[in-house]
Amino acid sequence: MWSFKYWRRRRILAGSAVSQEEWKQAEESLPLLEGLTDDERRRLREWATLFLHEKSLESVQGLVLDSEAARRIALQACLPILNLDFDWLRGWASVIIYPDAFVVDHEEMDSAGVVHRIREARSGESWDRGPLIISSTDVDAGRRRDGYNVILHEVAHKLDALNGVADGFPPLHGDMPREAWTRAFTRAFEDINQKLDAGHETPLDPYAAETPEEFFAVATEAFFEIPEVLAGAYPDVFEQLARFYRVWPLKMP
């Protein structure tokens, strides 16, 4: 069936000036993509081409973003939707890249109801319907395969927010029972909080213990970067993410 959407996408892909060699160079600098098959690589390049066409990448505070860095950002941002569809990245238009961690002011209410003005440094941020904001330093740090990847983290928040607010409960596919998702994530969230309270080491970045949405974003980083660690610590969460992303990044026993 003819579809305007696919016709338009084919035109964008056909008009792209990026050569396969240039994509290959960007891919080779990202250990995260090592395990992809040729077919997956081809699809990821297509999503990344659409990404560079649809989203504006804006570097601020004097940062100069070269085109290979832009391709690296696009490839990583599209990895979570590799087996979904580009439509999953709808609803926001730009990526803002700071040279380094940036400072944000916000207000927070404590348990006594007192509002505090807080100033803190962040490596990434995602506003509902707003831009995806990342720092270049953290993007570079994310190239190691260590479970830390600010782009995957912020894109996870974007996917999470597709059904309203980011709350750790993204729109699930029709064949995914809500109860299984909630059970897996609630147990793991409680577990990491207990470990943290007891002063024990946590299998994921302790930031995951902050809120359910941060748990989902941190678990997404681990799922793509260090799947064996996530599968070992929280196999049910791993399985839910594999169903959600439609990716099976390692062989399960």
Q: Which is nearer to Zn ion, 188 or 217 (CB)?
A: 217
Q: Which is nearer to Zn ion, 23 or 185 (CB)?
A: 185
Contact with Zn ion (CB under 5 A): which of 166, 217, 219, 242?
217
97 makes contact with Zn ion (CB under 5 A):
no
Q: Which is nearer to Zn ion, 138 or 214 (CB)?
A: 214
CA angle 20, 25, 31 (to 5 degrees): 125
Q: How far is the CB of 120 from Zn ion (least distance, A)?
A: 13
Part of the chain binding Zn ion (CB under 5 A), chosen from 30-38, 81-89, 136-144, 208-216 = 208-216
DSSP string, 34-95: TT--HHHHHHHHHHHHHHHHHSEEEE-TT----HHHHHHHHHHHHGGGTTS-GGGGTT--EE
Q: Which is nearer to Zn ion, 22 or 210 (CB)?
A: 210
Part of the chain binding Zn ion (CB under 5 A), chosen from 30-38, 77-85, 141-149, 216-224 = 216-224
CA distance 220 to 243: 12
44 makes contact with Zn ion (CB under 5 A):
no
208 makes contact with Zn ion (CB under 5 A):
no
Burial class (CB in 10 A: 0-12, 13-18, 19+), 26: buried
Positions touching Zn ion (CB under 5 A) are 214, 217
